[in-house]
Amino acid sequence: MARPVIFGDASHPHVRSITFALAEKDITYTLVPREQAPLLTQGGEQRIPLHCNLGEPALEYRGTIVSGADTVLRFVDEAFAGPRLQPADPLGRARMNRVMELYFREAVHTMGRQVAYRYLVAFLSGEYAPDLSERSLVQAQNTVAEFERLLAEGPFFAGVDFSLADIAIGSLFENLFELADFRTIVARESALNAWWERISSRSALKVTQEALAPVYGLLHAA
């Protein structure tokens, strides 16, 4: 079988979610930094594809580039053998799709850029992370409340089925759970804590953490 190649930054949650999904399928992959992504020729100039400039991952498989975090995740599930990562049940699939929509539309900004990214900048600059603003805190708490509502009583976001929704949210949350701000955003009694215990115990996540050891924990160290 041809080995898929992922282009992107290993510390980016979108890239982490793709490696997580491939590990669930037991598929070996190659991870290449985004600056080494295939060049596009535009007006006689060679430049890195736009999706890589924005930090979005791309995946090359059998000579074809698939780009966009959501698109690549679904492609991984549909192109490779292994356990299904999208529920066959229409209601379960609808729940998964709603969570994925909330993740890409809202959580990446309210919990990724506004919360976690501060620590990455602080780590790279050698300075302390600035305090989380009241506005950013409220927005992050609102996002968490919606995730709690969607999780309901199910063990996973799609209900009984582990899915791409758990992979995407888990790849973002694995950094958040170690941050100083975390307990002001996710209460100790939140159902998300038990959900995270189930996700963090999965062997596929542990394998990708080991494979990305040089960058995993970058935010933790801040």
Strand partners, 65: 60
In terms of DSSP H, where are the helices of the chain? 13-24, 50-53, 69-79, 90-102, 117-125, 134-151, 164-176, 182-185, 191-200, 203-211, 218-221
In a domain, 183, yes or no: yes
Are 26 and 122 in the same domain? no
User: What's the pTM value of the predicted model, to 2 decimals?
Assistant: 0.84
What is the residue-level pLDDT of the chain in tens, covering all 222 positions?
689 999 888 878 889 999 999 999 999 999 988 667 665 444 544 455 545 544 578 898 998 888 889 999 999 999 999 999 999 999 999 999 999 999 999 998 888 777 776 666 656 666 666 677 888 889 989 999 999 999 987 899 999 999 999 999 999 888 777 777 788 888 889 999 999 999 999 999 988 876 654 444 444 333
Indicate which CATH number applies to the domain containing 99: 1.20.1050.10
DSSP 113: I
- pLDDT value, residue 220: 36
For 105, the token pair is 């539309």
- pLDDT value, residue 131: 75
**Percentage helix, strand, coil, to 5, in the chain?**
55, 10, 35
- pLDDT value, residue 168: 95
Are 59 and 133 in the same domain? no
SS3 (DSSP) at 215? coil
Domain membership of residue 127 as a residue range: 90-221
Angle, in degrees to the nearest 10, between helices 191-200 and 134-151: 70
Domain boundary among 60, 79, 98: 79
Domain boundary among 59, 79, 99: 79
Are 101 and 75 in the same domain? no
User: What is the count of structural domains for the chain?
Assistant: 2
Are 101 and 40 in the same domain? no
In a domain, 119, yes or no: yes
Are 34 and 97 in the same domain? no
Are 61 and 123 in the same domain? no
CA distances 3 to 26, 50, 59, 123, 180, Å, are: 12, 24, 10, 33, 39
